[in-house]
Chains A and B, each alone.
Chain A
Amino acid sequence: MKGNSNGHKARGAKSRAIDIATAQPPGPEPPSAIERVRLARHPSRPQTLDYIDLLMRDFIEIHGDRRFADDAAIVAGLAYFGRRAVAVVGHQRGRSTTERIKRNFGKPLPEGYRKAARVYELAERFGLPIITLIDTQGGESGVGAEERGQIEAIARNLDLMARLTVPTVACVIGEGGSGGALALGVANVVLMQENACYSVITPEGCAAILWRAGGEENVAAAAAALKLSAPDLLELGLIDEIVPEPAGGAHTAPAEAAHLVGAALARHLERLVKLKPGELRKARERKFAAMGSRYLTRVSAESDRSID
């Protein structure tokens, strides 16, 4: 995010964010946008099931959407986080080739969103806090996904998450890609790991549409232009906090990475569980209602008076 920023100047929050990035002991330059994308996609980077394993106990996985199938790209279940029973939902990309194929590389099908919705509703009914872990390139582009209504499935999750009256904390642990990520992302607190990315489209997709060409250079330029790094998102007011990673990235020391994620999740949950259900929903609504508003201006315009 450093170079190639087209003269866009950092303010307030960004300097704070850079402090976090540069506070790491060997502290060279923070990684560029495309380097962060590579770190976020690193094959050894810890995934949802690793975090569940390292941070939670007595995990009971919940399968299926009760409509069509069980989507392995999203895992969901109940577990103890500290002393508290929670619902946990996250994307799972898979590591071996076989597992990656089984899990569709973490790109959910409509069934995955509907499974998530079922678990959100379960948590709501029994007052369990919800932790979501975001790690997907985005929705699946296939015939079946369209036939079975992925637009409806994603939209329904946005509606459902907005209404929840239990505490919700989301953490982007790898790639947060478009609607497929947001379907797990409408939370009271949204955290991002230091090298995670969160974007409206993949740099590859953006380069293909706006630069009308792929190629490493264009993809890197798109990654920088999209402002998809954790410090960028913090500056834009779209996330609440950056969770530091071990030097070199989360994959270099998964246990340490998990410890840092766990500490941040616990701290925010402890604060949120003290709020009343109505307050939790209101606070979440206010948070999302404010996103981007600071960039609005007024420009005079003729009103449409087309029907006189």
Chain B
Amino acid sequence: MAEREPTTGAAPAPSDDIWTKCPSCKEMAFRKEVERNLNVCPKCGYHFRVTVAQRLSLGVDRGTWRELMAEMAIGDPLGFVDSKPYPARLEQARASSGRNDAVVVGIGKIENQPVAIGVMDFEFMGGSMGVVVGEKLARLFDIARERKIPVIVFVASGGARMQEGALSLMQMAKVSAAIARFRDARLPYISVLCDPTTGGVAASFAMLGDLNISEPGALIGFAGRRVTEQTSNQQLPDDFQRAEFLLAHGMIDAIVPRHQMRFTLARILTMLTRPRGNRGAGPVASKGKGKRSGEVS
């Protein structure tokens, strides 16, 4: 659950070196070239993890992003100490990320359509969900419901945050209840499962989208691979808990490569929110400029 598990998951986003080695095909490539390719290996299509900032710049129209609730933070409700006190862990994560917790929420436009967006930060304590993540996402769904705009959440999380104990468990219920209200208003919610999506986060809002789509190769599951291996006493398939495995078992709607993500999301939203009379007006390519009319954020 919570903390990042060192033995699972893909490699982190490319480092600062000039060269980057792809963990999948082992080929070397210029870091700049990989970045220009949206952090996808130009040789084999391996998807590196991306930061929140990169995710936003990939997905959201330039100059339209407005972050909400950036100042929301948590203290130390349990007085939790393992090898380090929880406040020290939080402090460290805050210092290195410049944000208060593991999700960024706000409103922006995707291909000129206003959308409420949440992006989880796996770099912040493994993207784990505590009270702040639960509260921000629940409020985001409520705000979107009031404004009658869709929600997209880019999920990347190891699960619930152990340092907040049962408080973190209950955030699964909090967000799910907010989604239930939102869905009753017949507004679309698309969950984008990124690498990795596991534990209590996978078992709640990540799987409650009208559509649940994934990036190629993303790790998605409930229990960790090591634990599963021990419990089941069997060799696990190589693609166990990967997006392709879930797709084959009927558990996700589609796998969408990063290059096509923005325009696929925009197209889905257009189809769901304006099912009639929009033939030809929808976005046709990822660089589609705002030709649409009648939208006010």
Map CB proximity to A onto B1-19 as digits: 1 under 8 Å, 0 otherwise. Answer: 1110100000000000000
Which residues of chain A have a CB within 8 Å of any CB of chain B? Answer: 5-8, 139-143, 145-152, 154-156, 158-159, 161-163, 178-179, 182, 185-186, 198-201, 205-206, 209-211, 222, 225-228, 232-233, 236, 238, 284-285, 288-289, 291-293, 295-308
> B166 to A238, Cβ gap below 8 A?
yes
Contact, CB under 8 Å: A298 / B200: no
Cα of A159 to Cα of B200 in the assembled complex, Å: 14
B178, A289: Cβ atoms closer than 8 Å: yes
CB-nearest residue of chain A relative to B58?
A307
Contact indicator A288/B177 (Cβ below 8 Å): yes
Listed in ascending order, the chain B residues whose CB lies under 8 Å from chain A are: 1-3, 5, 52-54, 56-57, 60-65, 67, 70-75, 77-83, 85, 94, 98-100, 104, 106, 108, 130-132, 134-135, 138, 160-162, 164-174, 176-181, 184, 199-200, 202-208, 220-224, 227-228, 231-232, 234, 236, 240-241, 245-246, 249-251
- In the docked arrangement, what's the CA distance between A6 and B70, Å? 30
Task: Indicate which residue in B104, B130, B162, B171 contacts A209 across the interface (CB closer than 8 Å).
Answer: B162
Residue of B nearest to A286 (CB): B177
A-B contact pairs, 21 of them (CB 8 A): A5-B79, A149-B250, A151-B202, A182-B172, A185-B173, A198-B166, A200-B1, A200-B162, A200-B168, A211-B82, A226-B166, A227-B166, A228-B166, A232-B166, A291-B171, A292-B130, A298-B71, A299-B100, A302-B99, A304-B56, A307-B62
Report the bound CA distance from A155 to B155 in whole Å: 15
Of chain A, the residue at the smallest CB distance from B228 is A141
| Docked-complex contact A178 and B208, CB < 8 angstroms | no
List, in ascending order, chain A residues with CB within 8 A of B71's CB: 298-301
Chain A residue nearest to B55 in the complex (CB): A306
Q: Quick one: given A151-B207, A296-B131, are A199 and B165 in contact (CB under 8 Å)?
A: yes
Q: Does the CB pair B73–A296 fall under 8 Å? A: yes
- What chain B residues lie within 8 Å of A6 (beta carbons)? 79-81, 85
- Bound-state CA distance A201–B162 (Å) is 7
Taking the nearest CB of chain A, how far is it from the CB of B123, in angstroms?
13
Shortest Cβ distance from B79 into A: residue: A8
Known interface pairs A179-B222, A298-B71, A307-B56; A149-B165 also in contact (CB < 8 Å): no
Q: Which of A8, A227, A296, A297 has the most CB of B within 10 A?
A: A296
In the bound complex, what is the Cα–Cα distance between A298 and B206 (angstroms)? Answer: 27
Residues of B within 8 A of A154 (CB): 203-204, 222
Instruction: Give the 6 A-B residue pairs with the shortest CB-CB distance, closest first.
Output: A8-B79, A141-B223, A292-B131, A306-B53, A158-B176, A162-B177
- Nearest CB of A to B259, in Å: 18
Known contacts A200-B165, A209-B3: does B135 contact A297 (CB below 8 Å)? no
Assembly CA distance A288 to B138 (angstroms): 10
- For A285, the chain B residues whose CB sits under 8 A away are 177, 181
Which single member of B174, B204, B232 contacts A291 (CB below 8 Å)? B174
Partner of B67, one of A146, A227, A295, A304: A304
Q: Which residue of A lies closest to B99 (CB)?
A: A301
Distance (Å) between the CB of B103 and the closest chain A CB? 11
